[in-house]
Structure 1
Amino acid sequence: MAKMDHIVEQVLAKIRQREHQSYEVDYSSEESVPDKSVYTDYANVTIDNVTIPLLANIYRLNLNDPWTKWVLQGISFQVNFTFQISSSMVNFIPKKMLLDWPVSFVVDQKRSVTAFYQKAISRSDLAILPDKSIIVVTPNQKITDEAKQISQLKQMIIQMRSDGNCIWHE
């Protein structure tokens, strides 16, 4: 029994260690994907230089793309993915991906991109977000006056989207 307890303790120690470990990789369609061992060693993975074609492939679940397969497999291992994008790419992120996918989007390595389900976005919704966040809203969503004040204090960018979809997803 003591041997089994020792093994269990080792596994739990590995899991606790993994939770605090981060891995960063540059995306390149020319390069091969990182090894699958990344999933077992790192709970947090940042992909730099994410492109619009990569986003489209992941969103459409294009399993012919090796990076899409790698990201989807990582999600099944409960890896927390952060996609580093440029500010001009925000309109290319499908709102469903912002709301429902277990990935985060960050612009210029510091501004998180967020969207909300509810029709009224309140002060408390924005207060918990990091300063300088980018908030994607649609015309059918209202930002309360208090939320507008908080967004100014926290130097947030409110990005109005003409509809719920991104530019390429109709």
Structure 2
Amino acid sequence: MDHIVEQVLAKIRQREHQSYEVDYSSEGSVPNNGIYTDYANVTIDNVTIPLLANVYRLNLDDPWTKWILQGISFQVDFTFQISSSMVNFIPKKMLLDWPVSFVVDQKRVVKAFYQKAISRLDLATLPDNSIVVVTPNQKLTSEAEQISQLKQMIIKMRTDENCIWHE
């Protein structure tokens, strides 16, 4: 029995460090659910605005939405590769609360914060060239502004909490 437990634990440890990458296509079929037992990190390339809207709205008629939600229930960490023009289409709630990450051009992480005052420490923990989404009721401290310039971050002002398509 101990041997079986050891094998299961070894498989779990191995899964934590394995990544899978898939290209999204609205016309293509979704990957097999078996991906979740082998990979804890899944990157979806070429994420589109309709896919983002379907996932946010939990549109279970969309096979990709069902596949992503199933992965979340398996504790898969998803990364959505998006274009820079899509940043305004990400609901802030998704940036803050959803168990998915957003990356622009395969290198710039997109982040948001809850607090009204964003500090140097908040930005210092982010990678260089990150994109930080803020709303008019949020302010960067002067030290945060300095670190954002030093780390070449893009501060993206959102006119409200929601993205441009979500009411």
Matched, 1:35 2:37: no
Q: Which residue of structure 1 lines up, in the alignment, with residue 13 of structure 2?
A: 16
Equivalent position SS for 2:121:
helix
Return the match for 1:92 from 85, 89, 92.
89
2:125 equivalent in structure 1: 128
Q: State how far apart, in whole Å, the 2-side matches of 1:45 and 1:102 are.
A: 12
Distance in 2 of aligned mates of 1:35 and 1:163: 38
**Distance between the aligned counterparts of 1:152 and 1:128, measured in 2?**
14
Aligned to 2:64: 67
Describe the superposition over 1:86-135 as per-residue Cα deviations: whole angstroms up to 9, x where unpaired: 00000000000000000000000000000000000000000000000000
Number of equivalent positions: 167
Find the counterpart in structure 1 of residue 109 from structure 2: 112
SS state at 2:132 partner: strand
Matched, 1:153 2:132: no
SS at match of 1:24: strand
Question: Aligned to 2:11, what secondary structure does the other structure show?
Answer: helix
CA distance in 2, matches of 1:63, 1:163: 27
| RMSD over aligned Cα atoms | 0.3
What secondary structure does 2:2 align onto? helix
SS at match of 1:118: coil
State the TM-score, normalized to the length of structure 2.
1.00
Structure 2 residue matching 1:158: 3-state secondary structure: strand
- Residue in structure 2 matched with residue 82 of structure 1 by the alignment: 79
- Between the aligned residues of both structures, percent identity stands at 87
Q: TM (normalized to structure 1)?
A: 0.98
Letter in 1 for 2:46: N
- Uncovered stretches (5+) of structure 1, i.e. residues with no partner: none
Unpaired segments of 5 or more residues in structure 2? none
CA–CA separation in structure 2 for the residues paired with 1:36 and 1:164: 33
Matched with 1:58 is: 55
- Once the 2 structures are TM-superposed, how far is the Cα of residue 35 of structure 1 from its aligned partner? 0.2
Structure 1 residue ranges, 4+ long, deviating more than 6 angstroms after superposition: none
Distance 1:141 1:151 in 2: 15
Residue from 148, 159, 163 that aligns with 1:162: 159
Cα distance in 1, alignment partners of residues 16 and 163 from structure 2? 32
